Structure 1
Amino acid sequence: MCNIDFSIIIPQRKSLDSLPRLFKSIPVSDKIEVLLIDNSPEPISGKDVQTIHPFQLLHSNPHSFAGGARNIGLDNAHGKWLIFADADDFFTPQAFDIFYSHFADEEDLIYFKSDSVYDDTLEPSDRNSLFNAYIDDYVLGKIDEMEVRLSYLVPWGKMIKRELVVQYNIRFDEVLAANDVYFSTLVGYYSKKFTIDTHEVYVITTRKGSLANRWDLPVIESRYHVALRRNLFLKKHGLKQNQGSVMFFIYKSISFGPYVFFSFVFAALRYHQNIFIGFKDWFKTYRKLSVNNRKNKAYIKK
């Protein structure tokens, strides 16, 4: 196989309709490999993907979810740089020119800004605001480098050198939701050289029924236990100040009855978690989530 510059890793489940849009945003080049990992209960074939763009179709166990699919992608990637995309998102027109401008950089981790739209209308949404705010705050000197490294808890909108992931055997959690949080934490922590580019390279979509818009119990439980595990890692590595609040999950658990609520509290105790972390920001966070939920009401799956 010739030398590969970029490996684009894309997990797929029930997103065949949006894949052509994503593929169209990726240049055709023998230096860019596109790895599509199908995680569907009923495996798809290459003919099911309506595109003329060359890609490699791989399959993962559907019970390993998107994290398992991404791990299959890691196992089969050959590029110097790893770039992740979700099947319902896409890259901006200038994205790969920007990626190539950093190809020879000494850094092993580069963060970029993103745009966001509603999937069905392509009208602007606000899913990019949180991650762009971290970048803006870092550029303005409001937060330090380690804080921005550990706050951008998604795999897309980044260039990651494959050798970093290989050296530290960094993998995605094979869980229902938040499979990327621990991966992103480890990449941010172990990166030796880091930088930011404020160009937008990626477009996030808000899609009806997607995991990002689901608040049913299995999803909440998955996100909660990943958050506890992440906080424990940060405590063990002298980064207590970078832990995230878990009170939102405990608050959400109340609506599922006392058994679920107390199971969440006991889980925090098992992880030696201070559930009052970030209490000064609770009201602000709750208000922001309430506003977002009202705005995205049609897209949220209960």
Structure 2
Amino acid sequence: MPKVSVIVPVYNVENKLPRCLDSLLAQTLSDIEFILVNDASTDGSYDILLDYEKQSPERIIVINCEVNQRTGGARNAGLDMASGDYIGFVDSDDYILPDMFECLYNKAVSNDYDIVDSPLFITGTETIREPIDDSFCDRILAPYERELLILSDGYIVTKLFKSSLIRDNRIRFRPNVKLEDADFLLKAVLSAQRFGNIHDYKYIYDNTGDPTTWSVRTTDSNEFDHIYSLLEEYGHILKSNSVAKECQNAIKAAILHFYKTGIFCCIHDDGTEMSHRELTNLIKIRNAKNNIFIKGYDNPYFQHTTNEYTIDLMKQIDKISI
């Protein structure tokens, strides 16, 4: 059994794919497997994957999906195949430093952590996104600490997850949508007992060009549909998960942020009148939010990051009827 399984969804990224795969094969951790999932690419990505599998069959497993399911569906296919004690994720247009998974794994086993995080380096802006403060890492997570993790806006790809955490809690990605990371991370944080960090960045996020790992198709739904789907999923988690109820202020703040984003998908900055479809979508997302909770703009986490104009706008939208 490998120590770590690394899952890489691949879609139409032939120009950047070799760089990613070379960085995987350069990993210093022994006993590691790489599960490369071709998400119905239409370029040469699949052929590149097969070439690398021939070069390193003891470490590389290639899965070919004939129907595109976006990043979430491709990652689920990888989860079905993964056999490692821990699981990591890499996006195929990014790359990683050689000791990434050795550092994350050593940290994870040092104190039986369920999740270990690391900083993210962003090319173009040459900036580093730090993970949340790890001052609480040596003890079982308390509700307030889970709330901090929920609010931290972290990344799937900088983390290492204990595979039993994902398996035992049946944590999966939603296929065929964007924003699939958010509810996966929420479920993982709600299920985890211990959380750790390393302090040096190991993951390089390529901030050039389009995000190919979204598996963008010409028949893509608009942004609103993805936000609406995520809003509904968060509402389901809040209502059905007992640990979520202990962290409801943070989860409700996240829901309000999704609601706010959905609003700005429907209205126009230049004051142009909304179309009937946009107005219908606005009411749809308003009702979805109200099905979770009616009041809540006094949420301290939400108020801390949202200006009064936006909150007033949201309150006015609550009064619209058609």
Band of TM-score, shorter chain: 0.7 to 0.9
Quote the Cα distance in structure 1 between the aligned partners of 2:116 and 2:163: 12
The answer for unaligned runs of 5 or more in structure 2 is 138-142, 269-273, 311-322
| Segment drifting more, 72-81 vs 22-31 | 22-31
* Aligned residue identity for 1:282: T
Partner of 2:69: 64
Quote the Cα distance in structure 2 between the aligned partners of 1:264 and 1:184: 27
Pairing 1:18-167 to 2, within 5 Å after superposition = 18-26=16-24, 27=27, 31-42=31-42, 47-49=47-49, 51=52, 52-54=55-57, 55-105=60-110, 106-118=112-124, 124=126, 126=127, 129=129, 132=130, 135-136=132-133, 139=135, 144-150=144-150, 151-167=152-168
RMSD across aligned C-alpha pairs, in angstroms? 3.3
User: Any conservation in 2 of the 1:43–1:59 contact (CA below 8 Å)?
Assistant: no
Structure-2 change in CA distance of 1:99 and 1:58 (3 Å):
same
Match of 1:263 among 281, 294, 301: 281
The answer for unaligned runs of 5 or more in structure 1 is 287-302
Quote the Cα distance in structure 2 between the aligned partners of 1:6 and 1:104: 12
User: Any conservation in 2 of the 1:24–1:53 contact (CA below 8 Å)?
Assistant: no
Partner of 1:289: none
Structure-2 change in CA distance of 1:190 and 1:15 (3 Å):
same
Shift of 1:221: 2.2
Structure-2 change in CA distance of 1:191 and 1:178 (3 Å):
same
Partner of 1:192: 193
User: Any conservation in 2 of the 1:250–1:261 contact (CA below 8 Å)?
Assistant: no
More strand by share: 1
Instruction: Summarize deviations over 1:126-179 as a string: whole Å, max 9, x none.
Output: 5x53xx2x514x6499x9420243234532111101111110111100133011
Quote the Cα distance in structure 1 between the aligned partners of 2:173 and 2:23: 25
User: Any conservation in 2 of the 1:117–1:206 contact (CA below 8 Å)?
Assistant: yes
Structure-2 change in CA distance of 1:219 and 1:41 (3 Å):
farther
Shift of 1:203: 1.2
User: Any conservation in 2 of the 1:84–1:155 contact (CA below 8 Å)?
Assistant: yes
* Aligned residue identity for 1:230: Y
Instruction: Summarize deviations over 1:191-245 as a string: whole Å, max 9, x none.
Output: 122222222121111132227999x962342134213421442355312211211
Q: TM-score, normalised by structure 1?
A: 0.77
Shift of 1:85: 0.5
Secondary structure, counterpart of 1:102 in structure 2: helix
Secondary structure, counterpart of 2:238 in structure 1: helix
Partner of 1:240: 248
Partner of 1:205: 206
Structure-2 change in CA distance of 1:42 and 1:75 (3 Å):
same
* Aligned residue identity for 1:114: L
Aligned positions, number? 272
Structure-2 change in CA distance of 1:220 and 1:209 (3 Å):
farther
Secondary structure, counterpart of 1:160 in structure 2: strand
Quote the Cα distance in structure 2 between the aligned partners of 1:35 and 1:282: 40
